[in-house]
């Protein structure tokens, strides 16, 4: 049994679902471990699930802290949020360790470093599986500093130390506390494990296209990056009659949605701003994830969650918060991007879309207005941007990120 340790939101789990499905195609038994809230979602893809019985409610997670984490737009704010998060990790550490027992190999999200130390204790291989490039390189800044710092060798290396340090901060106390309670002392060679993935039994795999961020030439050979890990949906999505009619009744609309970083207290102000911007540039629009909106003009529709893989190919452009998964889905669909970063790595994906010529300049949420959003939409809909987006999508389609990374893992198990 291969066990994948994962954490985060629904979007964070999707690349690991893709990886698990590819492992199943290779005849491997695989399961995903995560909070019990995701059990139905994971199992809908035919993947075994090991539920961590705690959830945000039973852990009494501070909702204010979660919102702070989703809006942390500087390294200091990110650091403070990760520091606050660590106390919750301690409460579920024993369950994550138990999930590893009986496994032949552990794959872990960088927020679940228990996977590395549990694998060492159990004498089995471990694989660091990251949804973004995170290993040190002199070639570019990390995703928490890309586009926001001068790219020098020194700044680049420091930015990776910051990124890895914050991820390690979120889980190190839970690992150490569990180990001391269970085994009487901290694990051997206790420390940030990410750069330890340098041999065939401890490789790293990354979900990222080489046409978005090319694999760094100064990485160890056992760091593998072959493309994005896209989920194959089990069934063809069937939209509502209202959405189908809207899509077929005029020019392609602009999609606008901010995923899990959107909060109900932003609904009135943000929806009003988006509607005004769409009207300023005379475009049809789909507003997703803000709930029911009253008195919408005829050129705009409000919807709930719809698979990006189905919808994005049917719109003229995608406007979103810049989550790694949403950004990748937009790139794959071959449509221009308008990215409004709220926090964390979202700024990097916004800058990268602009640098690649497939999107407008980033508009941080704190500076968003109807006027600059309308201008960004007009910019993104230029033919040269749309052409670049289509070209990028063609390149991404040549990659098989999840499949090739699954082969790396299968080779380890085979040995």
Distances in Å between the alpha carbon of 23 and those of 123, 165, 259, 339, 413? 21, 30, 28, 33, 11
Token duo for residue 151? 């790219």
pLDDT of residue 237: 87
- Under CATH, which architecture does the 241-396 domain have? 3-Layer(aba) Sandwich (3.40)
Q: pLDDT class for 266, splitting at 50, 70, 90? A: confident
Report the alpha-carbon distance of residue 132 to residue 148 in Å, rounded.
17
Cα gap 85→347, rounded to integer Å: 22
Identical fold, 2-228+399-414 and 241-396: yes
Tell me the pLDDT of the chain averaged across its residues: 90
Task: State the first-to-last Cα distance of the chain, in angstroms, to the nearest integer.
Answer: 15
- For residues 337 and 312, is the Cβ–Cβ distance under 8 A? no
Tokens of 30: 């695989």
Q: Of 47-61, 68-82, 203-217, 281-295, where does the model show the most confidence?
A: 203-217
164-203 CB burial, b ≥16 within 10 A, e <16: bebbbbbbbebbbbbbeeeeeebbeeeebbbbebeeeebb
Phi, psi of 285 (to 5 degrees): -145, 155
Beta strand pairing call for 223-225 and 105-108: unpaired
Query: What b-and-e string marks burial along 77-97, b requiring 16 or more CB atoms within 10 Å of the CB?
Result: ebebbbebbeebbbbbbbbbb
Share of the chain above pLDDT 70, in %: 90
Sorted by sequence, the CB contacts under 8 Å of residue 268 that are 6+ apart come out as: none
Q: Per-residue confidence at 292, pLDDT binned at 50, 70, 90?
A: confident
Mean pLDDT of 60-81: 53
Residues 34 and 130: beta-carbon distance below 8 Å: no
Q: Return the CATH class of domain 2-228+399-414.
A: alpha beta
Instruction: Find the mean pLDDT for residues 326-343.
Output: 96
Tell me which of 66-70, 290-294, 320-324, 383-387 is least confident.
Answer: 66-70
pLDDT of residue 116: 97
Average pLDDT over residues 347-364: 97
- Per-residue pLDDT at 92: 81
Answer positive or negative: Cα dihedral of 172, 147, 255, 396: negative
pLDDT of the residue at 75: 57
CB 333 within 8 A of CB 316: no
What does the pLDDT read at residue 82? 52
* Cα–Cα distances in angstroms (integers) from residue 238 to residues 48, 144, 306, 314, in the given order: 25, 37, 10, 14
Q: Contact, 310 vs 233, CB < 8 A?
A: yes
- For the segment 394-404, what is each residue's pLDDT rounded down to a tens digit? 999 999 999 99
The distance of Cα 263 from the centroid of its chain, to the nearest Å, equals 18
pLDDT reported for residue 65: 47
Region 307-333: mean pLDDT is 95
Residue 409 is predicted with a pLDDT of 97
Domain boundaries, given as residue ranges, for the chain:
2-228+399-414, 241-396
Region 96-115: mean pLDDT is 95
Whether 171 shows a pLDDT value over 90: the answer reads no
| 28 neighbors 37 (Cβ within 8 angstroms) | no
DSSP track, 272-324? HHHHHHHHHTT--EEEESS---SS--TTEEEE----HHHHGGGSSEEEE---H
pLDDT tier, 144 (very low <50, low <70, confident <90, very high otherwise): very high
Q: Per-residue pLDDT for 413 more than 50?
A: yes
314's enclosing H/E stretch is none
pLDDT band at 383 (very low <50, low <70, confident <90, very high): very high
pLDDT at 337: 98
Name residue, tokens 């593998």. 224
Alpha-carbon torsion, ordered 156, 111, 355, 369, to 10 deg: -120
Dihedral pair phi/psi, residue 225, rounded to 5°: -140, 110
The DSSP result for 217-273, as a single string, is TTS-TTEEE-B------SS-----HHHHHHHHSSSPPEEEE-GGG--GGGHHHHHHH
**Edge-to-edge strand list for the sheet holding 300-303:** 300-303, 285-288, 254-257, 317-320, 337-339
Q: Looking at the predicted structure, is the pLDDT value of residue 10 above 90?
A: no
Question: What count of Cα atoms within 13 Å lies in the side-chain half-sphere of residue 141?
Answer: 19
DSSP 215: P
Residue pLDDT, tens place only, 182-200: 999 999 889 999 999 999 9
pLDDT, residue 88, reads 53
Residue 213 has pLDDT above 80, yes or no: yes
Determine the pLDDT at residue 69. 46
Give residue-wise pLDDT tens across range 234-264: 778 889 999 999 999 999 999 999 887 766 6
């Amino acid at each position: 049994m291969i066990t994948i340790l994962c954490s985060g939101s629904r979007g964070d789990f999707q690349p690991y679902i893709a990886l698990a499905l590819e492992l199943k195609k290779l005849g491997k038994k695989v399961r995903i471990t995560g909070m019990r809230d995701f059990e139905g979602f994971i199992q809908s893809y035919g993947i075994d699930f090991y539920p961590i019985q705690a959830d945000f409610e039973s852990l009494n997670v501070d909702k204010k802290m979660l919102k702070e984490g989703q809006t942390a737009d500087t390294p200091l704010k990110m650091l403070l949020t990760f520091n606050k998060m660590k106390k919750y990790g301690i409460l579920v550490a024993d369950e994550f360790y138990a999930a590893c027992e009986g496994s032949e190999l552990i794959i872990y999200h960088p927020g679940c470093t228990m996977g590395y130390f549990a694998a060492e204790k159990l004498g089995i291989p471990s694989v660091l599986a990251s949804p973004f490039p995170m290993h040190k390189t002199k070639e570019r800044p990390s995703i928490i500093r890309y586009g926001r710092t001068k790219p020098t060798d020194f700044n680049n290396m420091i930015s990776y130390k910051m990124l890895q340090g914050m991820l390690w901060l979120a889980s190190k106390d839970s690992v150490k506390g569990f180990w001391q309670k269970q085994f009487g002392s901290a694990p051997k060679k206790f420390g940030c494990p990410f750069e330890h993935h340098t041999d065939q039994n401890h490789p790293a795999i990354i979900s990222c296209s080489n046409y978005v961020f090319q694999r760094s030439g100064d990485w160890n050979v056992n760091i593998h990056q072959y493309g994005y890990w896209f989920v194959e949906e089990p069934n063809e999505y069937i939209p509502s009659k209202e959405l189908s009619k809207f899509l077929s009744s005029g020019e392609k609309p602009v999609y606008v949605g901010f995923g899990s970083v959107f909060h109900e207290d932003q609904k009135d102000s943000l929806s009003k701003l988006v509607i005004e911007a769409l009207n300023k540039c005379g475009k049809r629009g789909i507003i997703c994830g803000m709930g029911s909106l009253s008195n919408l003009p005829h050129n705009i529709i409000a919807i709930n969650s719809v698979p990006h893989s189905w919808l994005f190919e049917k719109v003229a452009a995608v406007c979103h918060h810049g989550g790694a998964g949403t950004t990748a889905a937009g790139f794959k669909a071959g449509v221009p991007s308008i990215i409004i970063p709220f926090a964390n790595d979202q700024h990097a994906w916004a800058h990268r879309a602009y640098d690649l010529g497939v999107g407008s300049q980033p508009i941080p949420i704190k500076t968003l207005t109807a006027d600059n959003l309308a201008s960004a939409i007009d910019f993104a809909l230029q033919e040269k941007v749309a052409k670049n987006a289509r070209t990028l999508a063609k390149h991404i389609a040549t990659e098989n990120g999840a499949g090739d990374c699954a082969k790396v893992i299968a080779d380890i198990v085979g040995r």
